Structure 1
Amino acid sequence: MEWMVAITGLPTDILILVLLAIAGAFAGFVDSIVGGGGLISVPAMLLTNVPPSVALGSNKLSSIFGAGSAAITFLRNGMVDFNLVRKLLPFTFIGSILGTIAVVSMPPLYVKPLIIVLLVAVTLFVVFKKDWGEVNRTSQVLGKALYICMGFAFGIGVYDGFIGPGTGTFLIMGFIFTGFDFLHASANAKILNFTSNLASLLVFLFLGHVNILYGLAAGAGQILGAYVGSHLAIAKGSSLVRGVFLTVTTVMLFKLVIDYISTL
């Protein structure tokens, strides 16, 4: 950090805010397309040397701006199946609250092996099944399928509150399995991701684990990145989302494996 201060001539506090905004822009861009922006924003928050719980809480503050910006864009362009999503929102909201409460007292180490296996399976599936997520094959999600979606929405909400990075990616997986194409799955995922971020943020605020200034700085970048990313996704369609999906899941997989090995 000292060398950057020397080069830019900016005070340390200002430089941190600028770097968080830049990291937020990249995170918002990636997250708006396929999720996984937390892989960028959370490490950036940790580099400020705030406690891990404050880094997570501050990241949630920034994430609601990115997810909210992308969600508004997708909604305005009619990409969201709100009839389905509105039924899932309460489950994601409650799940995220429970996950956030758990994260302050329990390390997320124990669920990482399961996530690694899941990511490997889904990544290989997408690579070898070229047409998966290319065509929107769903009309209405009813009956047993709806109950499965509710359970999935709750589980992902818990995951977002408990760990966080990759939530949007897992939500997209779930919607694609339901029959949506990559683009519509990404649009639906943003609404639920915004909901889980908001629920988690409320808990972190209540516990005093949010640096408001850092969160707002990264959030400003997230708005810009999410605006560009969501418009690009709509313009380029499912093929772009599929390519970014494979890239992000691969990076996420390597990071989780390295993190898990380093803790053994």
Structure 2
Amino acid sequence: MPLKYVLSLCVIGFIAAFIDSIAGGGGIISLPGLMVLGVPPAYALGTNKFASTCASFTSSMTFIKYKVYDINLLKYLVFGTLIGAILGVKAVLSLDSSKLRIIIIILMIFVAIYTLLSKNVGSVNNFEGVNKKTIAIGLIISIVLGFYDGFFGPGTGSFYIFLFIILLGYDFRISAGNGKILNFVSNVTSLVLFAISSKIIYSAAIPMAIAMIVGARFGTKVAIKNGAKLIRPILICVAIAYAIKMVFDIIK
């Protein structure tokens, strides 16, 4: 791959990882960036997954370092995410993921509208603590989104943040930390499949991954520092952008 293309991917990767570490949705930038530069779809998915997995690992470690997550619940949910991702990866081999587009468009629009209208949502941590109810709800979230990430993927990080806030009462910061850690688990599962299938262009994936690691580290620190006042508007923008992109994909 020409040097100018690699440098372009590094810039794209940095921006994508910065946004993704705050509110999810980095794939709307990084994946199209690879395809615009002429990378075939299957290889674009694999290359992007390699770079984004490195970024999500960095972001997860930063959230863990600053203790912006809830280990008491996550120790149960990691297994749910892993199981869901494995099932999702297996399902993608036999089912048509394009049928999910309409559903995802509707859900993304709902996320944007609800977050926009609910001024105080996610501003305060109202999580009631770990009990049978919250574990059950958390497992449902982790299994469903783990499956979704393995099967289709777009907007997984945004959905994690939204559902942790709405269903479990976490604030934006803890929701982002929890979601990013679980998203990393499902990313690794998908990455293994792409690696086994030899669908990764490492000459592009490695420099892009380095740029995304830097972007993820920077973005995570910004998210931790600014909390709801930053994550909320970016989550709204990401949800709207994903919905618009998917509408154009269907039209094409």
**Identity across aligned pairs (percent)?**
36
| Displacement of 1:255 | 0.9
**Where does structure 2 lack aligned partners over 5 or more consecutive residues?**
none
RMSD: 1.5
5 Å matches for 1:1-264? Answer: 13-177=2-166, 178-262=168-252
1:123-166 residue CA offsets vs partner (Å, 9 max, x unmatched): 11111110111110014132133222212211111211222221
**What is the CA-CA distance between 1:260 and the residue it aligns to?**
2.2
CA distance in 2, matches of 1:96, 1:18: 32
Aligned equivalents of 2:35 and 2:153: distance in 1?
14
Residue equivalent to 1:8: none
Q: Secondary structure at the match of 1:44?
A: helix
Contact 1:73 1:230 in 2 (8 A): yes
Change (3 A) 1:122 1:161: same
C-alpha distance in 2, partners of 1:256/1:214? 25
What's the TM-score once normalised by structure 1's chain length?
Answer: 0.90
Is the radius of gyration larger for structure 1 or structure 2? 1
Q: 1:198 to 1:75 in 2, by over 3 A?
A: same
Query: Partners of 1:255 and 1:181 in 2: how far apart?
Result: 28
Structure 1 residues 99 and 45, CA gap change in structure 2 (3 angstroms): farther
How far is the alpha carbon of 1:104 from its aligned partner? 4.1
Residues 37-75 of structure 1: CA deviation (Å, up to 9, x unaligned): 010111112224333222111111101111111111111
How many residue pairs get aligned? The number is 251
Q: Which amino acid aligns with 1:97?
A: I
Structure 2 length-normalised TM: 0.94
Structure 1 unmatched runs, 5+? 1-11
